[in-house]
Structure 1
Amino acid sequence: MVLALVLQSLLFFPPMYSASADLLVNRQHDDTQQGLQYNDQQADVQIISTYKDIIMRPIILNAVVKELNRPRKVPVPPAVPAKYDVNEWKQQVQTSPGHEAVYKMMPPTYRNRGLDDKTIAGMISISNQTNSQFFLVNVKSWDAKMSQDVANVFKTKIASIMGYLTCQLCLRLQKIRCQFHHMLS
């Protein structure tokens, strides 16, 4: 019975995708403020809670929706650098001309998908370890590209929110399967 449910879930339930942005909250210091570093680290850890609250506000979530529904500029064809060679007199000579990228406006990918702030809020989770300056924005959806695009938009929005702090961002995408207890509900 359990084996049949597992096989059914693998065949009939599509995989869920998860993309995440890891962020490090860290103030920049100059050498004259060495004694303040510990206090600043503690303040950075405490401010993560505020960032978690800010990220889940409708104003931020709506900004993410707006960005996802914006037409995007795509290079068609991509830029090609000119090629050079050295002639017998040791002079650099252009052997092939290059050209700049030509851009085409593409329609928004998610315009007709019914994305709103509540949908985006249901896709994301935010976590961090106790006393850590790192926090993670995780995005889960049935569409790998959507998960990655939402995480990318959050990455850029969070960096602009954290203006005075140094943000180190890293994006990763992974395919995950629904866990067994989620499939039965």
Structure 2
Amino acid sequence: MEQTINIEQIFGILRKYRRLILSSTVVCTLLAVVITFFLITPQYSASTELLVNRKQSADANVQWNQVQTDVQMINTYKDLITKPVIMGSVADKINKGNSHKFSDSEISEMISVSNNQNSQVFSITAKADNAYTAADIVNTTAQTFQKKAPKIMSGTDNVSIISEAKPNLTPVSPKRNLNVLIGLILGIVLGIGAAFLRELTDKTVKDESFLTDDLGLTSLGVVNNIAEKDLIKKAIMSVNGSRLSRRG
């Protein structure tokens, strides 16, 4: 036997289990707030940009070839920047005077390098739990790479720093408003899901039509549900009435 639910029943279920839905929404939202604001460590980002551009020849064809070569070299530079030959020197400079010591692999994981297609500019970005640390790592990496690149690439001196990173005190993660909104929506969805699950698994008889229409039984009458307090009240009135009749 298939059980179908119409729109009126859906709203009836939502009204019936409104406390369950509200409780689920509040709990999930509070969990999202606690996790976002107190358990997740904020991450800060800083970026610097470098230009790959050697001294151009007066010949237009040579200029074009040089530009294309510089663009292609960016892919090599992107791989080279995160290698120990660069990261080792960066770690040595960052760790001077700092209580927390970073390894070259830790710094490499903090850094990402990106560029737009056919652009001679590429960016170095670092994420850390401190805005000043992120900016320091990025600037040190850019300076170290600019200094070491000509030696590693056999005298190819074509890297210039065009912008230095500054500490950005606004965290890039977690996305606090988004996380709270996700917690709110998740709470509503879970609450509604639990409400329908309870309703669909409830096998109690809810109305007389189920007995007569679905089961084909004959209705002999309806016994109303009487609250316990009403039963006690009627019992007291009955006892008092009996006492008065005896006295009379």
Give yes or no for TM over 0.5: yes
Mapped pair 1:54 → 2:66: no
Q: Measured at CA, do residues 121 and 168 of structure 1 come closer, stay the same or move farther in structure 2, by a change above 3 Å?
A: closer
- Where does 1:117-136 land on structure 2 (aligned, <5 Å)? 117-136=104-123
Q: Which residue of 1 aligns with 2:65?
A: 39
- Contact map agreement 2:56 2:66 (CA 8 A) in 1: no
- SS in structure 2 of the partner of residue 50 of structure 1: helix
Q: Label 1:158 to 1:165 Cα distance change in 2 as closer, same or farther (>3 A).
A: same
Superimposed CA distance per residue, residues 37-83 of structure 1 (whole angstroms, 9 cap, x where no aligned partner) = 1111110110001111111111211100111123xxxxxxxxxxxxx
2:95 and 2:101 in contact (8 A); partners too: no
CA distance in 2, matches of 1:167, 1:55: 14
Instruction: Give the aligned partner of residue 165 of structure 1.
Output: 158
The 3-state SS of whatever aligns with 2:59 is helix
Q: Which of the residues 24, 31, 46 maps onto 2:51?
A: 24
Answer 1 or 2: which has greater strand percent. Answer: 1
For residues 30 and 69 of structure 2, what CA distance do their matches in structure 1 show? 52
1:126/1:137 contact within 8 Å kept:
yes
Separation in structure 2 between the aligned mates of residue 4 and residue 37 of structure 1, nearest angstrom? 60
The alignment of Structure 1 onto Structure 2 pairs a total of residues equal to: 142
The alignment partner of 2:116 has SS state of: coil
- Asked if residue 69 in structure 1 is aligned to residue 56 in structure 2, the reply is no
- Runs ≥4 residues deviating over 6 A: none
Change (3 A) 1:123 1:130: same
Please give the alpha-carbon distance, in whole angstroms, between the structure 1 residues aligned to 2:84 and 2:46. 21
Which whole-Å CA distance do the structure 2 matches of 1:33 and 1:67 have between them?
Answer: 42
Q: Which residues of structure 2 form unaligned runs of 5+?
A: 1-24, 151-156, 180-248
By how many angstroms is 1:151 displaced?
Answer: 0.8
Q: Distance in 2 between matches of 1:118 and 1:127?
A: 19
Map 1:105-124 onto structure 2 (within 5 A).
Answer: 108-109=97-98, 112-124=99-111
Q: Distance in 1 between matches of 2:144 and 2:59?
A: 29
- Percentage identity across aligned positions? 30
2:177 aligned with 1:177, yes or no? no
Greater shift after overlay, 156-165 or 141-150?
156-165
Residues of 2 paired with 1:41 and 1:8: CA distance? 52
**Which string of whole-angstrom CA distances, capped at 9 and with x for unpartnered residues, describes residues 110-167 of structure 1?**
xx31310111011101111111111111000001111111111012112213441141
Aligned residue for 1:148, secondary structure, equals helix
Q: Over alpha carbons, which structure has the higher Rg?
A: 2
CA shift at 1:4, angstroms? 3.2
Length-normalised TM-score, structure 1: 0.68
Counterpart amino acid of 1:17? Y
Question: Does the 8 Å CA contact 2:49/2:124 hold for their aligned counterparts?
Answer: yes
**Structure 1 residues 171 and 118: CA distance shift in structure 2, 3 A:** same
